[in-house]
Amino acid sequence: MKRTILAIALVCAAAIAFAQTPERPPIKIGFMVPLSGANAQNGRDILNGFLLLLEEAGYQAGGRRIQLIVEDDEGIPAVGLTKARKLVERDQVHMMGGPLLASSAYAIAPYIHAQQIPMVYPVASGDDLTQRRRSKWIVRTGYTSSQPNHPFGEYAYHTLGHRRIATIALDYAFGWESVGGFERTFLEQGGQITKKLWVPLSVHDFAPYLAQVSRDLDAVYVLFIGRTALQFLRQYQEYGLKDRVPVIGMGTTTDEHVLPAMGDEAIGVTTALHYSGALDTPANRTFSAAYRARFKRVPSYYSESMYSGGKWLLTAIEALKGNVENRDVLLDAIRQAQPTGLPRGPVTIDEYGNPVENIYVRRVERVNGVLQNTVIATLPNVSQFWKYNPVDYLKQPLYAR
Amino acid sequence: MTYLITQTLNGLFSAALLFLIASGLTLAFGVMKIVNIAHGSFYMLGVYIAYTVILRTQSLLLGAAAAIVVVSALGFVMQRFFLRRFGNDPLAQMMMTMGFALLFRDATLMIWGGDPFTLQYPGWLRGSMEAGDVVFPYYRLFVIVVAALVGVALWAINEKTLLGARLRATVDDPEMASAMGINVTLLSGLVFAAGAGLAAFGGVMGGPILGGYAGLDFDLLPLAFVVVIVGGMGSLKGAFVGSLVVGMIDNYGKALVPELSYFTLFAPMILVLALKPTGLYGRA
């Protein structure tokens, strides 16, 4: 008798122990950015931010282990599509994050939509991804190209006091949409744009354009990125323009991915973006310190993008207690997630799947010998539609040349 | 008038840089009929090597010397142990240079990472010359002068020395030159190495303005090819004239009709190819 009871007790104990460790399979997150080719470093920054977040979470959320599957999309749209297929069909990921370039983002969007995979876009900023060609399966956690520029156009007119401006920007959608947004609000205030110069992406020598900058302008609005930003500001100073016509522009021009390589030529350049590495808030100080310690680099807006973007995924997984198998439920959870403590400040996602967030006006200064984007103004709660009615806004064509 | 002077000086600078790159490309083609897709990589490697040396020594001169030596050696090895195996098969050689270009590109990314950088100006060349409304940076003037000197030196070697005579003989008829006792294989290796070194030197000269970044190699290669095709493949004089033509047209094209900047760059090439398929100074 005693034995029987003991045996039953043992079986029960074993059954309970067994039931308590229902080792559920890991949640798979697919992630793609360029890790080779010309945009490799930017892609690496985005990935690093995500890695930092996952490490802080111990690769766990909602009681389940998280498995990250990383693919290199090489910055080529066709490759991106192939890699997206691989992640969805072979790896059977539950959700995705990426890519970097708007071209890749547009290329994979129809596929993601058809496959119904919840995905966050941390960086790709093509306006129409969350406007005229939006998909409910794609939640952007970054910004639209025109988003920082709408308020910045008004800021340039009223606060900076500029009246006559010329623009010099890279000749592709990112440039057109950014300049378009700036131009719209700047003209509405009564400003004047005397000349719009479009620079091909392959350009190295900006001399032919610099010779056309009239020295009686109030400012030049520029949009550059990566090495073009470095070359442009260097050559702008070389031609003696720096002390005569101030440079304002899109935040990528002085973003921390290229700022450490710059010299005094960058000082005083005033730009707008939804993040600054020098943003002086507790959340950003913590993030910045952790990122520097882990990767020995200053965080750029790319680094912050997926650290924050990943929080939408983790918050949703927590809310569902790890039950992410139903995609409709997962998508709702991602859209309703309201992660807090983001380095860039408070963010909400609008019904079109794009953030409403702070835009920071930043001026490059040298602090303790290091260049940084000092925040000189915070423009709160900026929507992708600015002050316009979304329905009317979407009836207008996309900003173009 | 100010505008004309400024833009012409800008055009001369473009031409100077193009000449440094294209002269090596055209030399290699002249002697070996190799269409070297890795030529842009030589330029890029030049900047990166100089960058590493300059970080440690603060000397542009040392950086340039290191870049030339290392990249020339690389070019020599590449020609000697790989390209030569495909003696008379230009297509195989071209594909091999393409492979090397991709190899160099990924190696650069692995060694130096993908962050862009620029080289520091030498202290005595900082600042700009100002005459009335014409502003032109000293460093760009310096590059124009250097490229002109390199041009004169190349011309003198080619026309006035025994080495140059052998070189010209080899360009004209490699088999006959070989029969006359000229060591064509060694000469080919040396010319290829010199071309690589010139490209690396071009990279260093352009470094303070264009800098180095991932993708630089394939950004510059098409320009060098346009120059060589306009000037005539294999002709040094062609590279000189081609650089001037392309540098000026490209610069004025970008200044006057920026939306058509690709068109204005490639239009002269198509025109020359249509009227004189061998290029201005090329031989059939």
Is residue A8 very low, low, confident or very high in pLDDT (cuts 50, 70, 90)?
A: low
Chain B: residue nearest A241 by CA?
Answer: B135
Residues of A in contact with B261 (CB under 8 A): 200, 203
Q: What percent of chain A has pLDDT over 70?
A: 95
Q: For residues A196 and A254, state if they share a domain.
A: yes
The structure tokens listed for A92 are 């059977």
Is A17 part of any domain?
no
Is A116 part of any domain?
yes
Tell me what the mean pLDDT of segment B179-205 comes to.
93
Q: For residues A36 and A93, state if they share a domain.
A: yes
CA distance A166 to chain B (A): 15
Q: For residues A153 and A139, state if they share a domain.
A: no
Q: For residues A296 and A368, state if they share a domain.
A: no
State yes or no: pLDDT of A2 exceeds 60.
no
Q: Tally C-beta pairs within 8 A across A and B.
A: 101
| Helix B261-275 × helix B216-231 angle, to 10° | 30
Is A7 part of any domain?
no
Is residue B174 very low, low, confident or very high in pLDDT (cuts 50, 70, 90)?
A: confident
Hey, is the C-beta of B10 within 8 angstroms of any chain A C-beta?
yes
Q: For residues A159 and A219, state if they share a domain.
A: yes
Q: For residues A176 and A208, state if they share a domain.
A: yes
- In the prediction, which pLDDT does B19 show? 96
Is A217 part of any domain?
yes
Chain A: residue nearest B120 by CA?
Answer: A263
**A202, A235, A262: which to substitute to probe chain B, counting the most B Cβ within 10 Å?**
A202
- In the prediction, which pLDDT does A3 show? 59
Distance separating alpha carbons of residues A335 and B155, to the nearest angstrom: 69
Q: Which residues contact A169 (CB under 8 A, 6 or more apart)?
A: A175, A176, A178, A179, A196, A197, A198, A199, A221, A222, A223, A224, A250
Q: Note the pLDDT tens digit of each residue in B223-235.
A: 899 999 999 888 8
Most confident of A19-33, A279-293, B203-217: A279-293
Tell me what the mean pLDDT of segment A240-256 comes to.
95
Q: Note the pLDDT tens digit of each residue in A48-66.
A: 999 999 999 999 999 999 9
Tell me what the mean pLDDT of segment B73-84 comes to.
93
- In the prediction, which pLDDT does B75 show? 95
State yes or no: pLDDT of A22 exceeds 70.
no
- More confident position, A152 or A21: A152
- In the prediction, which pLDDT does B173 show? 84
- pTM for the predicted model, two decimal places: 0.91
Length of chain A equals: 401
For residue A152, report the phi and psi dihedrals to the nearest 5 degrees. Answer: -70, -30
- More confident position, B284 or B155: B155
Range in A12-16, A240-244, A285-289, B33-37 with the lowest mean pLDDT: A12-16
Is A219 part of any domain?
yes
State yes or no: pLDDT of A159 exceeds 80.
yes
Distance separating alpha carbons of residues B192 and B203, to the nearest angstrom: 17
ipTM score assigned to the predicted complex: 0.90
- In the prediction, which pLDDT does A174 show? 95
Is residue B87 very low, low, confident or very high in pLDDT (cuts 50, 70, 90)?
A: confident
Residue A306 belongs to domain with CATH number = 3.40.50.2300
Distance separating alpha carbons of residues A337 and A331, to the nearest angstrom: 10
Is A111 part of any domain?
yes
The whole domain housing A363 covers 149-273+358-395
Q: For residues A269 and A376, state if they share a domain.
A: yes
Indicate the domain borders of chain B. Answer: 15-214
Hey, is the C-beta of A37 within 8 angstroms of any chain B C-beta?
yes
**What total of structural domains would you count in chain A?**
2
**Does A230 contact B117 at a Cβ distance shorter than 8 Å?**
yes
Q: For residues A253 and A384, state if they share a domain.
A: yes
For residue A154, report the phi and psi dihedrals to the nearest 5 degrees. Answer: -70, -40
Helix (H, G, I), strand (E, B) or coil at B34: coil
Helix (H, G, I), strand (E, B) or coil at A348: strand
- In the prediction, which pLDDT does B133 show? 79
Amino acid at A330: L
Give residue B5's Cα distance to chain centre.
25
State yes or no: pLDDT of A350 exceeds 70.
yes
Expressed in angstroms, the distance from the first to the final Cα of chain A is 89
Distance separating alpha carbons of residues B51 and B58, to the nearest angstrom: 9
Distance separating alpha carbons of residues A99 and A115, to the nearest angstrom: 17
Is A1 part of any domain?
no
Tell me what the mean pLDDT of segment B227-251 comes to.
91
Hey, is the C-beta of B263 within 8 angstroms of any chain A C-beta?
no
**B213, B216, B262: which to substitute to probe chain A, counting the most A Cβ within 10 Å?**
B213
Hey, is the C-beta of B211 within 8 angstroms of any chain A C-beta?
yes
Report whether A202 contacts A173 (CB < 8 A): no
Hey, is the C-beta of A245 within 8 angstroms of any chain B C-beta?
no
For residue B278, report the phi and psi dihedrals to the nearest 5 degrees. Answer: -85, 0
Residues of A in contact with B216 (CB under 8 A): 227
